[in-house]
Amino acid sequence: MTRLEFWCELASPYTYLAAMRIDDLASAAGVEVAWRPFSLGPIFAAVGWSTSPFNVYPDKGRYLWRDLAREAEALGLPLQRPSQFPRNTVAAARVALLGVERGWGPRFIRAALAANFAEDRELAAPEVIDELLAAIGLDGPAVRAEAEGPEHRPRLRAATEQASAHGIFGAPTFLVEQEMFWGNDRLERAIAWARATR
Amino acid sequence: MTRLEFWCELASPYTYLAAMRIDDLASAAGVEVAWRPFSLGPIFAAVGWSTSPFNVYPDKGRYLWRDLAREAEALGLPLQRPSQFPRNTVAAARVALLGVERGWGPRFIRAALAANFAEDRELAAPEVIDELLAAIGLDGPAVRAEAEGPEHRPRLRAATEQASAHGIFGAPTFLVEQEMFWGNDRLERAIAWARATR
C-alpha cells in the first residue's frame, strides 16, 4: 500500500477541512495515511512571523475566513470562527503524537480540530484536552503526563524539525515519498499521486 | 449576464493557468468576464515585500514551481520556468489595460502570459511586447506610445488602487460583486457563484 504522510497542525483551519475527509478518500483509493502532527510556530518564526500569516497579512486573513466558510459549506462540515486565532496547540500536538504511536491519534486529531474550528473551544486548556481524551475512553491527566514526560515531550520538536527539513512551510501538507502537496485543495491530487506511484 | 471580474497580473504564474481557461469555462456557464489587469508590485510593497512572496519565502518558492508544473500538466498547458522571476510587467500591463478598452485585451494578456511562462521571453522588453502586438495585427510602437501617454498611463495605478481597495492581495483574484475568490484553484467556484447569483 502506498503511504501518504499527512502533516497536520491543530491550529490550522485548512488542516481541519483535510482531516475530516482524508480517511474516506484515502481508503477508497487504497492509500495508507500516516498522520504526522507538527508545529508551524517555529517554522513561521524562522521566516520572521510571530503569529499566523493570516494575522500578519490582514487582507489575507479577512479572505481566509470567507473562503473557509464557503469551502466548509461545500464539504458539509460545521464551522465556527474561533474567538482566538491561532490557538496555542503545543500541548495538544504532544498528545496527538503520543496518540499516533498508540493508534488513537487520528481520532484525537479530528476531535481537537473540530473543538478548535467547529466548536470554538480553547484547545490550549488542559481540561478541554482531557474532555477530548475522555470522549475516546482515555484518562486525560495520565495521557498528558506521559505526553509531557521526558520520553515523549521532545518528539514534537523533532517532528517539526523533520517538517522543516522537508521544506514544509504550511499546513496541511501531504508527502508521497519526496513529492509535496500543500493545502486542503491538493488532497485529491496527493491521493491520486500516491495511488499512481504504487 | 452575470459579470465576473478577473484581476490579472502578467507576472503571476497562477494567473497564466487561469487566463488560459477562463473564457471557455465562463462562456459554458453563461458568465461574462471583465478582464482587470493590475500590478501586484505596489500591493506587495505595502506589506513589506520588495519582490514576489515566492522569492521572499524560498521554501514556498521551491514548492511553487513544482506545483505549477503538476497543475499545468494536468490542464494540458505548456510551461517553462522563467529564467527571470518575477519579470517587470508594468509596461505590458499598461498595454493590456488599453487593450481591454479596445477589445483585444484578453488576446494580448494570454499572449503575454504565455510569453512569460511558456516561452521564457523577456516581457519587460519593448520589442517582445511589439511582437506580441504584431501577432494580433497591431502596431506595437504606436500602441505602446498611446499606453504610455498622459491619458492612459495613470490607469494602471488607478486599477491597482482599486484592487487594493477591494482587499485584493494576490493574483489571480476573481470578484463577483463583492464576493472574492483567490487563486487559479478557485476559478470553477467563482464561475459557479456568478452563475448562481444571476
Strands (E) across chain B are located at 2-8, 31-37, 173-176, 179-182
Chain B positions touching A57 (Cβ under 8 A) are 47, 169
CA–CA min distance B133, chain A (Å): 35
Give the whole-angstrom CA distance, residue A145 versus residue A79: 31
Q: Which of A91, A107, A86, A88 is closest to A156 using CA atoms?
A: A91
- Per-residue pLDDT, A86: 95
pLDDT of res. A190: 98
Contacts of B57 in chain A (CB under 8 A): 47, 169
Round to whole Å and give the CA distance between B166 and B149: 27
Cell of A23: 480517511
Q: Which residue of B has its CA nearest to A66?
A: B180
- Say if residue A185's pLDDT is above 80: yes
Give, in order, the Cα–Cα distances in Å from B182 to each of A142, B39, B189, B194. Answer: 45, 15, 10, 14
Cβ pair B63, B55 in contact under 8 A: no
Average pLDDT over residues A44-61: 89
Contacts of B60 in chain A (CB under 8 A): 169-170
pLDDT at B5: 98
**pTM summary value:** 0.95
- A-B Cβ pairs (cutoff 8 Å, strict): 39
Which residues in A lie closer than 8 A to residue B185 (C-beta atoms)?
185
Q: Closest CB to B63: pick one of A66, A67, A182.
A: A182
Structural domains of chain B in order of their starting residue, each with its CATH number: 2-196 (3.40.30.10)
pLDDT in tens, A139-151: 999 999 999 999 9
Asked if B85 contacts B121 with a C-beta cutoff of 8 angstroms, the reply is no
pLDDT tens digits for B68-96? Answer: 999 999 999 999 999 999 999 999 999 99
pLDDT at A79: 98
Q: How does pLDDT run across B96-155, given as a tens digit for each residue?
A: 999 999 999 999 999 999 999 999 999 999 999 999 999 999 999 999 999 999 999 999
Instruction: Round to whole Å and give the CA distance between B113 and A70.
Output: 29
pLDDT above 80: residue B190: yes
Please provide the DSSP assignment of A100-119 as one string.
Answer: HHHT-HHHHHHHHHHHHHTS
Residue B20 φ/ψ, nearest 5 degrees: -75, -15
Work out the pLDDT band at B156, boundaries 50, 70, 90.
very high
Q: Which residues of B128-142 are buried (b: 16+ CB within 10 A; e: fewer)?
A: bbbebbeeeebebee
Contact A63 B182 (CB under 8 A): yes
Run of H or E including A43: helix A41-46
Report pLDDT for A57.
87
Q: How far apart are CA A140 and CA A148, in angstroms?
A: 12
Q: Which of A168, A169, A179 has the CB atom closest to B57's CB atom?
A: A169
Q: What angle do CA B121, B125, B129 make, to 5 degrees?
A: 80
Q: Which of B14, B169, B184 to mutate to test the interface with A (most CBs of A within 10 A)?
A: B169
* Residue that wins the pLDDT comparison between B54 and B198: B54
Under the banding of pLDDT at 50, 70 and 90, the label for residue B22 is very high
Would you state the pLDDT for residue B160?
97
pLDDT band at B55 (very low <50, low <70, confident <90, very high): confident
Of A162, A159, A197, the residue nearest A176 (C-alpha): A197
- Identify all chain B residues contacting A168, using CB atoms and an 8 Å cutoff: 59
DSSP assigned state of A31:
E
Least confident of A48-52, A66-70, B129-133, B154-158: A48-52
Q: Does B56 score more than 90 pLDDT?
A: no
**Residue B159, pLDDT above cutoff 90:** yes
Encode B30-39: b = buried (16+ Cβ within 10 Å), e = exposed: ebebebbbbb
Question: In this predicted model, what pLDDT tens digit does every residue of B27-49 receive, in sequence order?
Answer: 999 999 999 999 999 999 998 88
Q: Is B180 exposed, middle or buried (0-12, 13-18, 19+ CB in 10 A)?
A: buried
Task: Give the per-residue pLDDT at A81.
Answer: 96
3-state secondary structure at position B43? helix
**pLDDT at position A2 over 90:** no
Residue A56: pLDDT above 90? no
* pLDDT for residue A183 is more than 90: yes
A189: left (phi over 0), alpha (psi -120 to 50) or beta: alpha
Amino acid at A61: G
* pLDDT tens-digit series, residues A148-177: 999 999 999 999 999 999 999 999 999 999
